[in-house]
Amino acid sequence: RFDGVRYGLRVEADDVRAMYDKTRAAGFGPEVKRRILIGTYALSSGYYDAYYLRAQKARTLIARDFERAFARCDLIACPAASCTAFRFAAKSDPYSMYLMDYYTIPMSLAGLPALSVPCGWSTPAGGDVPMPVGLQLCAPLFAEKRLLGAAHAYERATKHALARKPSTEGVRA
């Protein structure tokens, strides 16, 4: 299980309990803390069979679907999110944050290598400034070299990764 202190940041304290509390408070934002708590709850006694075992069965089915797909193709390209990026701190409710991850979940559940690269700009509905759009690339197990090569080739061919901000000419402030 992920405990938040074995890897990465560790804040020194007088005792183990204080070290865990201080490390988690300093190292994680509200969304990460929420997800760790949900995961801990789902793995706690009494809920293990109800959640974890069922999730493992679903994960196996998802991985098999990807195996069938990769029998017919080398990579999968799809949107990285269901919408453009949002302005920093513009979304804070858990449901909106979850929806931003929605398109990355299947690859994560299947344990597949995947990454996101910039692929352009779009003005969101009700927005006044173009925001970045991401393209997700996914490869079969152990095909990281192929995945990274494809991402690198895409970035070189499109130059989207070099764009820091689109032209706002004609956009009203």
Give pLDDT tens digits for 80-112.
999 888 877 777 777 777 788 899 999 999 999
In a domain, 171, yes or no: no
Task: Tell me if residue 14 falls in helix, strand or coil.
Answer: coil
pTM given for the model: 0.73
| Gap between the Cα atoms of 95 and 156, Å rounded | 35
Write the pLDDT tens digit of every residue in 129-166: 899 999 999 999 999 999 999 999 999 999 888 887 76
Residue 25 lies in a domain: no
- Give the DSSP H or E segment for 127: none
- Asked if residue 57 belongs to a domain, the reply is no
Instruction: Note whether residue 27 is domain-resident.
Output: no
Q: Is residue 103 part of a domain?
A: yes
Quote the domain boundaries for residue 114.
72-162
Q: Please, are residues 26 and 11 in contact by the beta-carbon 8 Å criterion?
A: yes
Domain assignment of residue 6, yes or no: no
Q: How many domains does the chain have?
A: 1
Domain annotation covers residue 67: no
Q: Is residue 94 part of a domain?
A: yes
